[in-house]
Amino acid sequence: MIWIYTLISVAIVSLISLVGIFTLSWNQKKLYRRLLFLVSFSAGTLLGDAFIHLIPEAYENSSSRIAVSICILSGILLFFILEKIVHWRHCHKRACEKHPHPFAYNILVGDSLHNFIDGMVIAASFLVSVPIGVATAVAVIFHEIPQEIGDFGSLVYGGFSRMKALIFNFLTALTAILGAIIVLIIGKSSTEIIYFLIPLTAGGFIYIAASDLIPELHKENDIKRSIGCLIFLVAGVMLMFSLLYLEV
């Protein structure tokens, strides 16, 4: 029964990645007017997730603060290297389907790792007890909704078509199922792996938000739209903060 509960939960989490389907009815002009706000929201959720959820959890469950700090820095360096590998030539062109910006690929990598951890955490919770597993799954679901909306917008802004962004976002979400299956097979001994991946993911999220997404927001010079970007950025952070009450 634990397998059934866990796989149903991670399947629901994976399907949340299709939330971007609601934007398919928007015309192209309306979509691009709102994309920068979605990018702002994504940056806020990534930073909020890293500093409010992932890093505190990593420090709380680690006996070595230095080890956690090294993992966070390693995550930042890892995503810097990944971006350098993808970014084989300096980009002066506007992002489009034939010329996506490297940060779009970074988001896919980071989201894959994050969903993989989510799957592991859900499975580990169900191994403790069904009620704890359900509570964790609900928390992850509420956590994923704003992040997936932001990630979808960032992928489209980075040059992916809406359909391609939807498909790739869904494929990265499937790593949650892989993470859950690994934990169910290995058992409770997989906890140490989770505590290593959590700060690594946090570092990746900080890098993507600070190095890739926020600089995109500085390209907007209109005062009203700049204020709107700031509001959405703060909203993303505050939403991640509000999820703390769901974990209590």
What is the pLDDT, as a whole number, of residue 98? 53
Q: pLDDT tens digits for 196-221?
A: 878 887 888 898 889 878 888 888 78
DSSP single-letter state for residue 221: -
What is the pLDDT, as a whole number, of residue 82? 73
What is the pLDDT, as a whole number, of residue 93? 47
pLDDT band at 71 (very low <50, low <70, confident <90, very high): very high
**Helices 102-128 and 65-86, interaxial angle, to 10°?**
140
Distances (CA, A) of 190 to 80, 133, 196, 204, 211: 27, 16, 10, 21, 32
What is the pLDDT, as a whole number, of residue 89? 41
Q: Specify if 77 maps to a domain.
A: yes
What is the pLDDT, as a whole number, of residue 216? 81
Rounded mean pLDDT, 216-239: 89
Q: Specify if 10 maps to a domain.
A: yes
- Ranking 50-59, 60-69, 194-203, 216-225 by mean pLDDT, the lowest is 194-203
Q: Please state the domain count of the chain.
A: 1
Answer with the residue of higher pLDDT: 234 or 108: 234
pTM score of the predicted model: 0.68
Answer with the residue of higher pLDDT: 69 or 25: 69
pLDDT band at 66 (very low <50, low <70, confident <90, very high): very high
Rounded mean pLDDT, 6-18: 87
Q: Specify if 27 maps to a domain.
A: no
Q: Specify if 29 maps to a domain.
A: no
Q: Specify if 21 maps to a domain.
A: no
Q: Specify if 26 maps to a domain.
A: no
Domain of residue 49, residue span: 2-16+36-247
Q: Specify if 28 maps to a domain.
A: no
DSSP single-letter state for residue 123: H
Q: Specify if 12 maps to a domain.
A: yes
